[in-house]
Amino acid sequence: MTRPPESPHDAPTVAVPSRGPVGYRLAKAVLSRPLRAVYRVRVEGLDHLPDNGPVILVANHRSFMDSIFLALTTPRPIAFLAKAEYFESRLTRWLFRLTGQIPLRRGSPAGARDALAAGASVLDEGGIVGIYPEGTRSRDGKLHRGNRGPARLARTTGAPIVPVGLIGTDAVQQPDERVPHPFRTVTVRFGQARRVSEADESDAALLRVTTDVVMHDIAELCGQQYDDHYAKAPT
């Protein structure tokens, strides 16, 4: 049984997998043309993304704009695991709820369980869940050790993990910048899907190995130097 959310703001919102929430579709319809006019967006390897069925998208995280460009270039709707603080601010709460995103309370085991349970519901309905395994935006330009949440979700749902490398989003907007810069080039590079192995290993070891393999996939796709240490959350 899923534990109750820690607060009303943390209540998971499950997207409609087939077409996505109305808010998601509306936001994408309104923003797609202006974004493509302002930014040069390159997409590679999109054929690695299944046309239907559950998918876990995992990507490097350099900018707030990462989710915007992923949503822009992925034909199917994505329910992202987003930090719960976005659901506490009046400026962003309505947008994240309207577009069907899932709150994740960082540093809270119960919050992580709630978010993964909500993600599993999306996958059970054949939808896409987007996760940044580093857990926070990289501030040193390196790709950091991944958390095991995506692998655990893949193990429990059977959904494939599709790695994604995002290139150039840090030039659009770095973590501490409030306003994005126009006229930059962004590349979204999809990699080959992976599934959790059925090897005879303990769950912890299997999830760690799977996570490490996927993180190296992402490193190859985005070109960032890999650092086998967890990223430090901003203070």
pLDDT at 48: 98
pLDDT at 199: 61
pLDDT at 114: 95
* pLDDT tier, 13 (very low <50, low <70, confident <90, very high otherwise): very low
> What is the rounded distance in angstroms from the CA atom of residue 223 to the CA atom of residue 16?
33
List pLDDT tens digits, range 47-76.
999 999 999 999 999 999 999 999 999 999
pLDDT at 16: 44
pLDDT at 202: 64
> What is the rounded distance in angstroms from the CA atom of residue 84 to the CA atom of residue 67?
15
List pLDDT tens digits, range 144-164.
999 999 999 999 999 999 999
* pLDDT tier, 200 (very low <50, low <70, confident <90, very high otherwise): low
Residue 30: helix, strand or coil by DSSP? helix
pLDDT at 235: 53
Sign of the CA dihedral running 5, 83, 96, 148: negative
What mean pLDDT comes out for the span 3-8? Answer: 38
Ramachandran angles phi, psi of 149, nearest 5°: -55, -50
List pLDDT tens digits, range 84-107.
888 888 878 888 988 999 999 888
Sign of the CA dihedral running 97, 68, 144, 162: positive
Q: Is the pLDDT of residue 204 over 90?
A: no
- Per the CB < 8 A criterion, the answer to whether 122 and 128 are in contact is yes
> What is the rounded distance in angstroms from the CA atom of residue 188 to the CA atom of residue 166?
5
* pLDDT tier, 6 (very low <50, low <70, confident <90, very high otherwise): very low
Q: Is the pLDDT of residue 111 over 50?
A: yes
Residues making up the chain, counted from first to last: 235
Query: Which one-letter amino acid corresponds to residue 94?
Result: W
Tokens representing 101 are 């995103």
| Mean pLDDT of the residues in the chain | 90
CA 37 to chain centroid: 24
Cα Rg of the chain, angstroms: 17
Query: Which one-letter amino acid corresponds to residue 135?
Result: G
Domains of the chain, first to last: 17-227 (3.40.1130.10)
> From its phi and psi, is residue 17 left (phi > 0), alpha (psi between -120 and 50) or beta?
alpha
Question: Minimal CA–CA distance to 66: which of 194, 165, 204?
Answer: 165
pLDDT at 15: 43
What mean pLDDT comes out for the span 121-134? Answer: 97
